[in-house]
Chain A
Amino acid sequence: MASRTAWIVATIVIILIIAGAAWYYAAKGGKGTQTTTATSSPAPSTTAPQTTSTPTTSAAPAKPELTGNIEKDIVSIAKYLAAQGIHQVEFRVASAGDPNSVMRVYAISEAAYRLNKIVESKGIDFKIVIKTEFRRGGGDKLAQDFETGFQANKNPDIMANSYKWIARFAEEGYILDITPYVEKYSEFIKDFYPSLLNAVKWKGKYYGLPQDTEARPLYWRTDVAQCIKEKTGEDILANLYDKVKSGEVTWHEVYKYAKLAVENKCSQWGVLHRKGSAHPDLIQFIFAFGGQLEDPATGKLVVDVPAVYKWLYVEWKMARDGLIPKDMMSWDWAKQIHPAVVCGKTLIWIGGTWHWTEWQTKPYCNGRPLTAEEVKRYFYYTLFPAGDHGDKPVTLSQPFVWMIASNAGKDNKDYAKYKDVYHMIAFLLIVKASDPDLVAIHSIISAHLPVTKKAAELINDKAWVQKLANLEIELSPEVKNAIADIVKKTVNDINVEFLANASKLLEYTKLTPMHPLYPKLADIFRDAVDKVLRGEMTPDKAVEYIISKVKADPELSKATEIKGEIPTNWQYP
């Protein structure tokens, strides 16, 4: 019996120890203090890099500070760390996307290669090693994994992902506030398009650098337009780009054209758009109708009732008249959407710049991809037209940005002691990865738009593009080898010309709010679009639905303003 009691007591004690340890760990985290042991890596700091100086011997170089000259900076850092006996540092970089976007990780490998070369030329025994992880698919899963992995100190050090995560990660202290570094690199930062720099700021501080961006043009099938011209004499494509730009062609005219296409049996559908979500493609309607999604004064999300109503009305009306399929939101990408667009079953496709090369690489129609010439022949593109006359055309971007984890460099020796130096190296890596040629290569092979002016110039440089096509540019063997096949398939005059022209759309670009609750709001919009398309709700009922959904969520309703009324004297089309 005594033994039995002993066993029970022992079990209880073990449970208590585990529970106690868990509690201690929780309490410790709550207070934000840290302890480090020799074997385990320290808990990541959630604050900005500290600038405490460590005692140095007179012979060793002093702890480096960034100067804004990247060559000087990397050399002084290398000298410093080498003097401390650290001759190699390792960083992990992760990103996601379609397989053609591999430069989202290889740009960092290349940056390390270039920095290493500088260090080597000075004869310093120091090296940066990069481990890459590139995932096929969207960045959201990667971002969720980043925050999950962060708890175990197993997150990547550098990540390229959508800017929309910055708010959430900055609030939780998962990513580094690089404002002090950026201030030193003020010359360098000027090369980025200013609108894109807004995408890397949260509460006035820099949390990253733009990596790439894109625009969402409206694609018009030229063969369908030709058919309309033959049957009705109306040449809709004549000067269309400028007419959309000036606001002469709005969604009222789009309705008319779509109807012409369907009524004259030139195409089965007038307009097709993405399925499954309203963000980001359909959100353009709100901006096109002059609406807003975020109140700059209060920082609150906005349900702009007139704009949302008009958007839903356009979709509702078009679906009723057979111009947009009623079940658009549940079409299958592989079997319905892509083939319908590429085989010309619609006049208009609300797409993105990346489709331009996607159509050239995937067999969406008749079992083979289109050639670059065919894509150019069949697809005309414009801005996303203004909603009403008097509104402005738009496009929407969702830039990818380089983010540095607040525990960057954690796998290296004496992290606690040298963490600010490791952070500097991570920063220098993303600076170097923004070299014009690296940005330009990524843009061309993946049909994303360049984020710096110098890269845009390079894309217009015929001689350089020719060198890239022949793979005669300066790149590390690893990176050159990795992208060789994509370069062969995608680098040609037509694509480069498209990219140069599409970059002009950026002048009209809008961003969706970086608000942490924005995804919830976008989800509600998605359901509303589905309901009006199917005819389950009329547009005014759908607006009521949106408002009731916002109010049903206590968090969201606190963070959202409902503005305006349903317009009464508005006519569409």
Chain B
Amino acid sequence: MADSERIKQILFFLSPALALVVVFYIIPLILAVYLGFTPLRDWNLKAYMGKFTTQSYEYLFYLVTHDPDVSKVVKTTIVFTSATLIVNVLGGLLLALAAFFMEESVSLTYRSLWLLPRLTPVAVYSLLWYYFFLGSGEGTLNSLLLRLGLIDHPIAWGTDPSLQPAGTWLILIVVNGFVGVSFGMIIFYSALKSIPREQIIAARIDGANTFQLIRRILLPQIRWHLVYVTIWQLLSLLTTFAHIFLLTEWGVVDRWWGTTWALYVFNEAFSAGEQGVAAAAATILVAIGAVLGLLSLRLLGFKKMMQEPRGEI
């Protein structure tokens, strides 16, 4: 087939997706980097878009080095991202394995239940957890523990200074974990399901126990999925803030220990009206995300795992 014909065909298939990517990712990204160098505030695009300045970066640098609370944001971002990543990947894996070894009807119920948080509107989801972790005796967790006699006075999980930052981080990890594990669970479960049954049966006949079965047979088969989920979740966690936002605003967690860099960007852009600073902060985040993403792609051997396309003639 002629080369130009091939290219036309490829473009036919790729152009809608590429057009969306160009208009809604690439141009905005360039523009966002540019906006980080403007004094844009109060959304006043007309007045500030033509002015060049590095003040937003200087401002951010000054804040990070001088304001102890802003350095809390940096610490929270690192801890939150890595801890939640581990919870999401391992939790997803354990859930998928549990679901795999269970009878289908029970497994289906659990898998459905764990998918629910992902499908819940953020404001509603936050409201539910807000009351769950409320620091007074009215909070669901406190009232439960009080009733069971495990504690004798309500604990302010996210706001008691002696429990911070651990308490706040724990809440953030739990709230995001319940949303995040479902992603890994779905992918790992379907991957486990597609492992040829003969291999499992053979291992069982050879006398392998469940633990050995998991380590020797199952895990190696879904290695690729583990890599994919890890990278994907890492990047997600670095940039999401939706589930944290309202918990912090409503004060069930400490304000500074409960703010990640992405949330900081959002607050600067939408509450403080400092879109220039927000764009600069976001640019830094994009750079970190891209570097981390590329590094993990390389380190985890992504390239080797990409098979050549089939069906090419």
Contact = CB atoms under 8 A, between A and B. Distances in A.
Direct A–B contact in the complex, CB atoms closer than 8 angstroms? yes
Contacts, number: 115
Given A22-B31, A30-B50, A555-B59, A327 B159 contact: yes
Interface stretch (B60-68, B81-89, B299-307): B60-68
A1 interface: yes
A335 B69 CA distance: 30
Contacts of B45: 26, 29, 151
B11 interface: yes
Interface in A272-288: 275-276
A15 B134 CA distance: 50
Given A15-B22, A19-B27, A2 B4 contact: yes
B135 A327 contact: yes
Contacts of A482: none
Interface string A546-566: 001101111100000000000
Contacts of B135: 327, 330
Given A29-B49, A276-B251, A336 B3 contact: no
B49 A26 contact: yes
B195 to A, nearest CB: 41
Size class of the contact patch on chain A: 35 or more
A416 B116 CA distance: 52
A536 interface: yes
Interface in A1-19: 1-4, 7, 11, 15, 18-19
Contacts of A2: 4
Given A7-B11, A22-B31, A150-B43, A30 B51 contact: yes
Contact of A552 (B4, B66, B158): B66
Interface string A148-179: 10110000000000000000100011100000
A533 to B, nearest CB: 10
Contacts of A173: 44, 47
Contacts of B159: 327, 329-330, 534
Contacts of B46: 29-30, 32, 43, 46, 151
- Which residue of B8, B50, B156, B272 has the most chain A CB atoms within 10 A of its CB atom? B50
Contacts of A335: 134, 136, 138
Contacts of A535: 161
B90 to A, nearest CB: 31
B264 to A, nearest CB: 13
A22 B30 CA distance: 12
Contacts of A150: 43
B190 interface: no
Contact of B59 (A172, A275, A331, A554): A554
- Which residue of B44, B62, B68, B156 has the most chain A CB atoms within 10 A of its CB atom? B44
Interface string A509-521: 0000000000110
B201 to A, nearest CB: 51
B255 interface: yes
A46 B47 contact: yes
A373 interface: no
B276 to A, nearest CB: 12
B199 interface: no
B49 A148 contact: no
Contacts of B30: 19
A536 B257 CA distance: 15
Nearest to B67: A552
Contacts of B251: 275-276, 329-330
Nearest to B62: A554
A332 interface: yes
15 contacts: A1-B4, A15-B26, A27-B50, A30-B47, A144-B271, A150-B43, A330-B135, A331-B136, A332-B138, A534-B161, A552-B68, A553-B62, A554-B62, A554-B63, A555-B59
A-B CB proximity, top 7 nearest? A30-B50, A29-B46, A552-B67, A3-B4, A26-B49, A552-B66, A536-B161
Given A151-B44, A276-B251, A531-B161, 5 more contacts: A22-B31, A26-B45, A30-B46, A151-B46, A330-B158
